[in-house]
Amino acid sequence: MTERAQPGQTPRPRLLLADDQPFILEALALLLRPEGFQTESVRSPAAVLECLRHGDYDAVLIDLNYTRDTTSGAEGLHLLESIRQVQERLPVIVMTAYASVDLAVDAMRRGANDFVQKPWENARLLTVVRAQVELYRAWRHTQLLEAENSMLRRDGAPDFIATAPSMKPVLELVRRIAPSDANVLITGEHGTGKEVVAQTLHRLSHRAGRTLVAVNTGALPEGTFESELFGHVRGAFTDAKADRIGRFELASGGTLFLDEIANIPLRQQAKLLRVLETGELERVGSSTTRSVDVRMLSATNANLHAEAAAGTFRPDLFFRLNTVEIRLPPLRDRREDIPLLAAHFLSRYAARYRRPLHGISSAALQQLLGYSWPGNVRELDHTMERAALMATGEQIAPGDMGLQAAGAGRGVSLDDLSLEGVEAVRVRKALARAGGNVSQAAEALGLSRGALYRRMEKHGL
């Protein structure tokens, strides 16, 4: 039975041993297990390949002969080539009682990492195994670091400011379910803070010491969806010049957060469902099954209940994601939080831009409280960043925030706005009319979802 490491612990190296002689397998296991290795034993080349298709190992030790009275090593050399077709980088150590220089050279040429002669010397065999496992784990760790470095990361833990009465049910749910491994669906309008809730759930869970991987599925082209989530092997498609770890493997042992989950096409939903149900996946272009252990958090501003009923979102996937649903209210329904949020954002940007700011004027605060906030907390964040840059005094004044022109247009003619200002007003109004639904707002503006996302990012929405 495979041992599962506790979160935060490095699992014991897992070795696959292959020999047709039971006493050889027993002797290897007796040597390796007290040295901190997990072992699994098989007695045929077919069994080796079957294990590699469904399991994850740190190294393989294989005999070169499996049929009685056979000494050519042909069976083992053929197995070695087959292993390399399934696992390009997995360390393979070959061993045989009929060693020769020519056979050793042939095995190394076909992809073996090292060679051990039977009867082996315990110290040498342990040295060879440890060296190959350490090299392999170092390579895998490098892959993980490269994958992490390719992702945009925010510094520090999220600040979850929520004092309004409408946020009390949210806080209670977060407190109760954060320590569990339950899948959570976070819903609410665009910009309401769904990612902050996901970060908070992860930080309060027993997986807090491991990785939180966030993916905006709305920004993933359909053609790269599987590669991004499940990874790929070299040669899987034209641009696959090297193996790549997917987000599921990167998040294994930790938490995976899929934002804009409603944007996943139906064909890809089935593959996502399979991973959630079985905890297993295959990289694109590979037949090797890999086990992953992730806690799934997802978010959307769409009505998944309605989309599941309409057949545009798989009901079985919806139920799998929606063990618990956390619904975030829009900022206009939690105005009690606006002063604290605004002060928090202002403090952050005053420090970042080294501005000597000491608060928000009463007139500016009244303007903040009276604004409709179609972009919710994200728009407030952007507004305070602009104010920190534009302020001429020690306090933020109404004119520093740019809300008069960007609001509902009261008393402001579009002729008085720049082209970018007009665009910002149109985008805000479309989002407000669509209740924050990006798909509906994009359709009303005659834009694709991607084009609208780019404009929302441009205007801090």
User: pLDDT (tens digit, 9 = 90+) per residue, 12-54?
Assistant: 899 999 999 999 999 999 999 999 999 999 999 999 999 998 8
What pLDDT was estimated at residue 349?
A: 92
Nearest partner of 255 among 225, 214, 197, 216, judged by Cα: 214
Burial class of residue 99, CB neighbours in 10 A (0-12, 13-18, 19+) = middle
Instruction: Return the pLDDT at 163.
Output: 83
Exposure string over 3-21, b if 16+ CB within 10 A, otherwise e? eeeeeeeeebbbbbbbbbe
Q: What are phi and psi of 452, to 5 degrees?
A: -70, -40
pLDDT tens profile 60-108? 999 988 887 777 888 889 999 999 888 888 999 998 776 566 777 788 8
Confidence of residue 438 (pLDDT cuts 50, 70, 90): confident
The predicted pLDDT at position 154 comes to: 42
Q: Give the Cα separation of 170 and 301 in Å (integer).
A: 16
- Tell whether the model's pLDDT for residue 6 goes beyond 60: no
pLDDT at 153: 40
Average pLDDT value for the chain: 84
pLDDT beyond 70 at 255: yes
> What's the pLDDT band for 424 if we cut at 50, 70, 90?
confident
Residue type, 375: G
Contact 364, 401 (CB under 8 A): yes
> Does the pTM of the predicted model rise above 0.75?
no
84-88, 159-163, 226-230, 453-457: least confidently modelled range: 453-457
Band of the pLDDT at 422, cuts 50, 70, 90? low
Q: Tell me how far the alpha carbon of residue 250 is from its chain's centroid.
A: 6
* Cβ contact 231:244 at 8 Å: yes
pLDDT band at residue 417 under the 50/70/90 scheme: low
Percent of the chain with pLDDT strictly greater than 90: 45
Q: In the predicted model, is pLDDT for residue 405 greater than 80?
A: no
User: Residue range 387-415: average pLDDT?
Assistant: 72
State how far the Cα of 451 lies from the Cα of 288, in Å rounded to an integer: 37
Task: Retrieve residue 415's tokens.
Answer: 């002729």
- Side chain identity, residue 250: L
Most confident region among 314-318, 342-346, 363-367 by mean pLDDT: 314-318
Q: Which tokens in the block code for residue 458?
A: 């441009």
Sign of CA dihedral 445, 451, 457, 459: negative
Give the separation between CA 424 and CA 263, rounded to whole angstroms.
Answer: 24
CA distance 57 to 14: 5
pLDDT average, residue stretch 287-312: 91
Domains delineated in the chain: 14-147 (3.40.50.2300), 165-327 (3.40.50.300), 334-458 (1.10.8.60)
Compute the average pLDDT of residues 261-276. 90
Q: Long-range contacts of range 127-133, CB-CB < 8 Å, 24 or more positions apart? A: 128/93, 129/15, 129/32, 129/37, 129/59, 129/61, 129/93, 132/59, 132/91, 132/93, 133/13, 133/15, 133/58, 133/59, 133/91
pLDDT band, residue 390 (cuts 50/70/90): very high
Give 189-225 pLDDT, tens digit per residue: 989 999 999 999 999 999 998 889 999 887 777 678 8
- Looking at residue 428, its pLDDT comes to 76
Bond from prior residue into 330 cis (ω within 30 degrees of 0):
no
User: Sign of the CA dihedral 28, 95, 43, 92?
Assistant: positive
